Every structure is written in structure tokens, then in C-alpha cells.
């Protein structure tokens, strides 16, 4: 049992310690919510000292250990409630290969790959323009406020991207910003924000999203177009096309055998399902990348 905290900062430190080993995204949300509650209680009870208020809150809101336990329990319940239905287990390799079509996460990942081009262009432009202007304005009196405003927008965009990653790719991401530690002096908070590795890893993520977005979009469009084209090639043949290859006028042409159209269709189907597996794999890998670059460490 930890010693009774005397300040909000100590209370939050004990909550973080009690959540050691938990998902960092959940820890970030828990610290933010706990600080918000503590600050609102302090505003409603100005006559009480911080130590008296913390002792009162520990009896009503709960000790840091109680808060951590509640968050762990709630996280399990919310995760179960939001998890999409799992496709039925398929014992055979063929069943698992074609069973990817029954997984809703597959189509969400594919949609994210198509959307990544637009978001990548926006993130890259925002990050590069903001950094360039921040460096250019550094010698001016409004340079520091501009830089802080830019970094604030980066944090907001990281939350927006985190929500898209969680909804589409199924990776737990923060639903609250990092807790602000508002008891610290303003300049100390700025120093911590600038020294926080997550500030710069978020900018790195935004820059990386342009090449990744181009890659994801190209893979998705090429894979889908090629597979669908192969699947419907025999249909085009049935409605007036021909399979002859060469120059009819010169008498040189080649007609593929009768089994070529169904083989092309089969190849297109296999390629389509392989593309769905690739999309799900890319979604998982990108979710882990976002997790590592966007989630606050909680230090």
C-alpha cells in the first residue's frame, strides 16, 4: 500500500505506478481523467488545502490503487463490448485463406489504406509547413507562441489519427490527451512538452504518412484492379471480346486454349483473397507503428 498522497501530482504518480504494465493508451486516459476530476474538486472546494482535498477524494473518488483497479476492469469490459464479432475458426488452410472475407477488420484495413493517401498528404504538409515556419519565426517575438500553437495542433491531430487507427485497425489508442500537470509552472510545462519524445515521434509519424500513404494506396488500387480485372476477363470474352493475340490482317494470331478463361478467373479470385490478407497484415503493422509513435509514454 503506497503512502497517502499529499498533492495532485503525487496522486497521479501513484495511479501511474498502480497501472504499471497496462496498455500505455489506457494509462494516458486514466491519468487525464483522474487529473480532471481532482482539478474540478479543487475548484469546488477552495477552502480546503490540497492535502485535505486529496484525503477527502481518497475516501470518495477512491485511492490511487482503487482508481487503477477500476480502470483495468472498465478497460476489459469496454474492449469486449467494442470488439467486432470474430469469424468462426476454420481448421483447414483453405478455410483460413478464404475466411479472411468474413473478418470485418479486413475491409476496415483496406479502407484505411485507400484513405491514407489523403491523410498522408495533409499530415506531411502540416508538419513540414509548421516546422519550417516555426524555425523561420524563431528570431521574431511571436516565434515561440507560434511554435507552441503548432505543437498543440500536432497533439490534436495525433488524437484524431489515433481514433481512426483504433476504429479501423482495432489497435487501442488514447482517447484523451496527455495529462497536463497543471501544478507545474507554465515554463516548466513547455520545457516538458518540448522534451517529450512523443512530441517529436508524432511529427515523425506525420512525415512518414506521406510515403506510407502512397505505398498503401498504390498496393490497394493495383491489387484490387488486377484481381477484379482477371475475374471479369472471361465475362468480357462472353460479351463480344476475343482471345486472339496478334494481327488478324497479316494472318498471324494466337487463340489461347479453352481452359484459359476459367484459369484467369481462378487466378483473379486467389489474388483478390491474397490482397485481403495483405490488407489485414498492413493494417496490423501500421497499427503497431501508430501505437509506438503516437501514444504518450506516461513518464
User: What are the 10-residue block averages of pLDDT along the chain, 299 residues in total?
Assistant: 75 87 87 84 80 78 84 83 70 80 90 96 96 88 85 91 92 80 65 80 95 97 92 69 53 59 85 94 95 75
**The pLDDT value given to residue 259:** 66
HSE, side-chain direction, 13 A CA sphere, residue 209: 31
The secondary structure of 17-62 as a DSSP string is HHTTTS-HHHHHHHHHHHHHHHHHHHHH-TTS-HHHHHHHHHHHT-
Please state, in angstroms and rounded to a whole number, the distance separating the CA atoms of residues 179 and 35.
7
Which phi and psi angles does 12 have, rounded to 5°?
A: -65, -35
Q: Residue 161's closest CA among 107, 118, 132, 190?
A: 118
- 10 Å CB burial of residue 179 (0-12, 13-18, 19+) is buried
**The pLDDT value given to residue 21:** 84
- 10 Å CB burial of residue 228 (0-12, 13-18, 19+) is middle
**The pLDDT value given to residue 241:** 53
HSE, side-chain direction, 13 A CA sphere, residue 210: 12
**The pLDDT value given to residue 179:** 64
* Boundaries of every domain in the chain: 1-83, 88-299
Amino acid at each position: 500500500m503506497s503512502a497517502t498522497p499529499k498533492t495532485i501530482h503525487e496522486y497521479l504518480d501513484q495511479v501511474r505506478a498502480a497501472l504499471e504494465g497496462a496498455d500505455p493508451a489506457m494509462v494516458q486516459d486514466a491519468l487525464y481523467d483522474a487529473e480532471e476530476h481532482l482539478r474540478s474538486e479543487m475548484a469546488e472546494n477552495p477552502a480546503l488545502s490540497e492535502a485535505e482535498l486529496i484525503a477527502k477524494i481518497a475516501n470518495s473518488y477512491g485511492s490511487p490503487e482503487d482508481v487503477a483497479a477500476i480502470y483495468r476492469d472498465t478497460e476489459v469490459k469496454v474492449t469486449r463490448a467494442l470488439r467486432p464479432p470474430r469469424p468462426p475458426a476454420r481448421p483447414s488452410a483453405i478455410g483460413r485463406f478464404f475466411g479472411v472475407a468474413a473478418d470485418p477488420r479486413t475491409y476496415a484495413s483496406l479502407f484505411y489504406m485507400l484513405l491514407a493517401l489523403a491523410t498522408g498528404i495533409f499530415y506531411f504538409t502540416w508538419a513540414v509547413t509548421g516546422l519550417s515556419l516555426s524555425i523561420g519565426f524563431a528570431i521574431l517575438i511571436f516565434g515561440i507562441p507560434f511554435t507552441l500553437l503548432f505543437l498543440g495542433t500536432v497533439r490534436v491531430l495525433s488524437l484524431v489519427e489515433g481514433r481512426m487507427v483504433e476504429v479501423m485497425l482495432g489497435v487501442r489508442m488514447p482517447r484523451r490527451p496527455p495529462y497536463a500537470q497543471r501544478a507545474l509552472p507554465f515554463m516548466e510545462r513547455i520545457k516538458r512538452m518540448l522534451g517529450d519524445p512523443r512530441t517529436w515521434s508524432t511529427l515523425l509519424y506525420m512525415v512518414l504518412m506521406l510515403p506510407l500513404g502512397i505505398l498503401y494506396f498504390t498496393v490497394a488500387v493495383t491489387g484490387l484492379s488486377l484481381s477484379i480485372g482477371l475475374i471479369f476477363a472471361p465475362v468480357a470474352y462472353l460479351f463480344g471480346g476475343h482471345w486472339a493475340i496478334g494481327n488478324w490482317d497479316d494472318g498471324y494470331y494466337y487463340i489461347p486454349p479453352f481452359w484459359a478463361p476459367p484459369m484467369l478467373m481462378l487466378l483473379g479470385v486467389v489474388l483478390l483473397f491474397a490482397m485481403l490478407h495483405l490488407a489485414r497484415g498492413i493494417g496490423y503493422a501500421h497499427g503497431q507503428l501508430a501505437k509506438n509513435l503516437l501514444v504518450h509514454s506516461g513518464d
